[in-house]
Amino acid sequence: MEIAFILSLEHETLPLAELKAVLKAEKVPYSIKNRFKGLIVIDIPDEYLAKDHSKNILNRLSFTHEVFQVLLTCEEEKLTQEVQKYAWKEIINDEFAVRIKKRGKSSTNTLELEKKIGSIINEQTEYKYSVNLEKPSVLIRIVLLDGKVFLGKTILKISKKHFYDLKPHKRPFFYPGSMSPKLARCMVNLTMIRSKEKLLDPFCGTGGILIEAGVIGAQVVGTDIDPKMVKGTRENLEHCHINNSMVFQADVRTLKLPYKIDAVATDPPYGISASTRGEESHKLCGEALLSLENVIKEGGRICMATPHYMEIKEFLKGTKFKIIEQHHIRMHKSLTRVISVMVKT
């Protein structure tokens, strides 16, 4: 079965990297069929979507907007002809709507084309089911991409409400420089953590990363050297109903745990607003990685955000950690944030 993912255009590499990590973490076999800017089509076994937990897995994604089952592909000028030939009686079983999204260059009037395709489907189904533009039970998605068309039935639209409602300033405890929920979720996904596994954030700050890990079912462990941050993280986790958590004051450089952690996702403090307790950021990150080597399991992943001027490769000398991917996010003219994914070999 071919499944298409409409990816966010907010970042060049993170959306696809996150998608691949989630599919691999959840052990979904797949092969990439088509890859474009803002759209990727994969082939997965038909039985996968029949599983009850499939939507929960897809809901993990933060840099994906929508997921749909591909019904047909063609050149844009042949779209009407192909739609007329399609057996819509097998697809449409309730009120429906047709929606078009452009990816790339196209001069097509999308509103007129939506009406045209909707009329053809209505005729094919003998007007048994009407068009409902407000709350359709079946959404037919069409993506126009540089002369090529992907048409399908929407499986899931990723809700933006969660990421909007949990913006840092809307949580009970706020501190400047907190990471956005969307990026925090992406970092959690890049560690390939699974439900009920343990994820650690040793610089938990206001708890944003722990919240996102908790939402997808992970057991979360948070530490911070600053007791104010520990207290604030606990407040935020309670506010978000994340109960499977343990948060306590600790210095990551001397951190000891009675168990091994499956993954680490963290945004160490740096910059003027960061709380480093007087420690120089470069030295702190280097010593943190040496300590984390003792608490993370073999094959466990670390996803860490650092500023571009902090060369993380230098910190890995003498450790078992290996960088497997990096993503650069330009924050403003003088700062680029680097998201590094490392694995303990």
In the beta sheet, which residues pair with residue 205?
none
- Closest by CA position to 300, among listed 195, 184, 190, 185: 190
pLDDT in tens, 318-327: 899 999 999 9
Please, what is the angle between helix 181-190 and helix 208-215, to 10°? Answer: 60
Residues above pLDDT 90, as percent of the chain: 83
Structure tokens at 174: 């706020």
State which H helix or E strand residue 336 sits in: strand 335-344
- Closest by CA position to 100, among listed 155, 157, 140, 153: 140
| Domains, the chain, with CATH or none | 2-157 (3.30.2130.30), 161-344 (3.40.50.150)
- Closest by CA position to 200, among listed 246, 265, 154, 255: 265
**% helix, strand, coil for the chain, step of 5:** 30, 30, 35
58 or 121: which carries more pLDDT confidence?
A: 121
With contact defined as beta carbons under 8 Å apart, do 206 and 175 qualify? yes
262 or 280: which carries more pLDDT confidence?
A: 262
Phi, psi of 245 (to 5 degrees): -145, 155
Number of Cβ atoms within 10 Å of the Cβ of 187: 28
How far are the Cα atoms of 252, 287, 291, 306, 333 from residue 200, in angstroms, in the given order?
A: 11, 16, 13, 17, 31
With contact defined as beta carbons under 8 Å apart, do 154 and 139 qualify? yes
Per the document, the length of the chain is 345
- Helix ranges (H only) for the chain are 14-25, 54-58, 79-85, 110-124, 161-165, 181-190, 208-215, 227-239, 281-292
Overall average pLDDT of the 281-306 stretch = 93
- DSSP string for 149-194: EEEEEEEEE--SHHHHHT-GGGSSS--TTPPPHHHHHHHHHHTT--
* pLDDT at position 57: 84
Q: Flag whether the pTM goes above 0.85.
A: yes
Alpha carbon dihedral 332, 333, 334, 337, in 10-degree steps, equals 40
- Closest by CA position to 246, among listed 286, 293, 289, 201: 201
With contact defined as beta carbons under 8 Å apart, do 321 and 263 qualify? no
* pLDDT at position 24: 96
pLDDT in tens, 205-226: 999 999 999 999 999 999 999 9
Q: pLDDT at residue 310 above 70?
A: yes
Confidence bin at 273 (pLDDT 50/70/90): very low
Q: pLDDT at residue 274 above 70?
A: no
How far are the Cα atoms of 153, 280, 295, 337 from residue 199, in angstroms, in the given order?
A: 35, 26, 11, 22
Overall average pLDDT of the 119-142 stretch = 94
